[in-house]
Amino acid sequence: MSSQFVGLMDLPAVPVFHGIQLFSIAFVVLAFTSRLFFRGRTLGKALPTPGGLPWAGPVWAVEASNIYTTFKAWSEKFGKLYEVKLFGQNLIIISDPAIAKEILAKKAKTVSDRPALALVKGSKDSGKYLPFLGNNDHLTRQRRFGVLINNYTHQANYHGRMLPEATRFAHQLLTKSDSPFMLVDQVCGRLSCRMAFGTPAPRAAISRSAHNFMQNLSPGGQITNVLTFLRHLPSWINSDKHNESMRVDIEDRVWYGSYDKAKAAYENGTLRASYAKYYFDQREKTGLSEHEALHGIAMMATVSILTLIAPLQRWIVVMAQHPEWQEAVQKELDEVLHGRMADYDDSPKLPTLRATILESVRWASPVPTGIPHRLEEDMEYNGYHLSKNSNVLACDWSMCRSNEYYKDAETFNPSRYLDPDSPAYKEPLTEFPKLQNHSVFGWGRRTCIGQDYAAIQMLVVCAAIMYAFNISPPTDPKTGQKTKLNLQELLSTPNVIPIMEPIDIDFTPRSDAHAQRLQEAYRSSQIQDAEQEEDECL
């Protein structure tokens, strides 16, 4: 008996056991084994769950292209905090902002890690991709750098580039140089590259590499992200792996190429204000290796392209269906700005425009499932056990479409922020409604660091559209009637940030005079000839 104990516990041999010693050892063994057996159930009761098959979970009930709608449907059945096992991963889904705050913000210490991305090698610890870094030193340094460069750019008023780029974009819409959604892609990319590298030159290449990145990291983008065991297969069997190594090759070429050009420009004194210039000027102070800085700068450009295309597309689509709100915004612009185009510092005077932007983000959240935080320790919340290694998602779609928080939540209604009798109304109107601190930017230590950038870019670009155009859904060539847009269908994509396929929204100049004024604004912005894009892979 005694030797059996010793073997089990891997203890050094003890020649003689007295009763008290035996009792102590038995107690330790019991405590240890019961912790092993009941691990996961010691901190409270189990969360409600839709159940399903042992490893795969309730796969038959999942709406793969719009999984956030499934999460919302489950929240109505299983409550605002539930868990679901899907393909071996335990997901804890939060559908209420108060719970998200309690868990993701107040307990940030244990829930600020990220799950490893199955396809993207070293996603957590290679120091390359800030939004996917684990809770480690790379994260501390890169986040600090990200916050620094974003604050610096914000204080420098985006180097005066927002309005000229928005003017260029509106002018391109006027000349119909490309389809409207391609132009949305362009304006987001040009601004991101200007902020990162001081020039729009690498826009096309960075943008292409950003879209590839999104596909390969999204759970629904590649099968290996769902059936993660497939990553162990060689690339000649699993083509996702081959695809990923090609993606990384291209990304390296584009990211290193853009960075090296910025460095050369810095050395010959021609680099414009940008994240890169900030780094070269303050290299010692940032404490970053060149590898971290290069990836920090390029990743920031990548994230801001992807995250800003989505809300801009949504605003355009929803406004196209609401001419009454276009009229309200145009009235505000005309009254306040007397015929000039809006810039970042006009924001306090434009509450109606801000209300439409905020409402479009609420009505069609651009990050509808949220971004997963990995739980590093077992946790107890409100009597429930949340188990270590689970991925916690604050489902923004459920929160934004909650009738408890937003009266008549399915309806697009910007007046909820402008009507003093509405529960969502806040003063002063010079500040509210505002995009910053919205649940769409996430929670706790991993919350978005580009919130000011997002708010200013949305304001200036949407104002430029309303300055010159009335927008409407495409005309059906068969019936000659305007089509009714089905947002749910348009958003059907398995990607984390659902970017729409191009759609031909009609941009009609408000009048000849508006078109002419836009032409003049474009000419005087002096943007047309200088700094063309190098439309090739660097």
- In whole angstroms, the minimum distance from the beta carbon of 103 to ligand HEM comes to 11
Q: Are 110 and 377 in contact (CB under 8 A)?
A: yes
Tokens linked to 44? 């409270």
- In whole angstroms, the minimum distance from the beta carbon of 158 to ligand HEM comes to 11
Smaller CB distance to ligand HEM: residue 85 or 295? 295
Binding-site ranges for ligand HEM (CB under 6 A)? 130-131, 143, 146, 150, 300, 303-304, 307-308, 311, 366-367, 371, 373, 440-443, 446-450, 453-454
Smaller CB distance to ligand HEM: residue 103 or 170? 103
Instruction: Give Cα 522 to chain centroid, integer Å.
Output: 31
State how far the Cα of 148 lies from the Cα of 165, in Å rounded to an integer. Answer: 24
Burial class (CB in 10 A: 0-12, 13-18, 19+), 163: buried
Smaller CB distance to ligand HEM: residue 164 or 366? 366
- In whole angstroms, the minimum distance from the beta carbon of 150 to ligand HEM comes to 6
Q: Confirm or deny that 188 is annotated as ligand binding.
A: no
- In whole angstroms, the minimum distance from the beta carbon of 300 to ligand HEM comes to 5
Give 130's DSSP letter.
G
- In whole angstroms, the minimum distance from the beta carbon of 441 to ligand HEM comes to 5
State how far the Cα of 245 lies from the Cα of 240, in Å rounded to an integer. Answer: 9
Distance between terminal CA atoms of the chain? 72
Burial class (CB in 10 A: 0-12, 13-18, 19+), 353: buried
Smaller CB distance to ligand HEM: residue 116 or 230? 116
Smaller CB distance to ligand HEM: residue 305 or 468? 305
Smaller CB distance to ligand HEM: residue 50 or 189? 189
State how far the Cα of 327 lies from the Cα of 370, in Å rounded to an integer. Answer: 33
Smaller CB distance to ligand HEM: residue 447 or 492? 447
482 pairs with which residues across the strands?
A: 475
Q: Are 500 and 490 in contact (CB under 8 A)?
A: yes
- In whole angstroms, the minimum distance from the beta carbon of 173 to ligand HEM comes to 21
Measure Cα distances from 40 to 44, 113, 278 in Å.
Answer: 9, 19, 47
Tokens linked to 227? 């059936």
State how far the Cα of 97 lies from the Cα of 149, in Å rounded to an integer. Answer: 29
- In whole angstroms, the minimum distance from the beta carbon of 94 to ligand HEM comes to 11
Smaller CB distance to ligand HEM: residue 85 or 114? 114
Q: Are 456 and 434 in contact (CB under 8 A)?
A: no
Helices (H), 268-350: 275-286, 290-320, 323-337
Pairing assessment for the beta strands 379-381 and 384-386 based on DSSP bridges: antiparallel
- In whole angstroms, the minimum distance from the beta carbon of 496 to ligand HEM comes to 9
State how far the Cα of 442 lies from the Cα of 445, in Å rounded to an integer. Answer: 9
State how far the Cα of 21 lies from the Cα of 408, in Å rounded to an integer. Answer: 67
State how far the Cα of 47 lies from the Cα of 81, in Å rounded to an integer. Answer: 7
Known binding-site positions for heme: 448
Known binding-site positions: 448
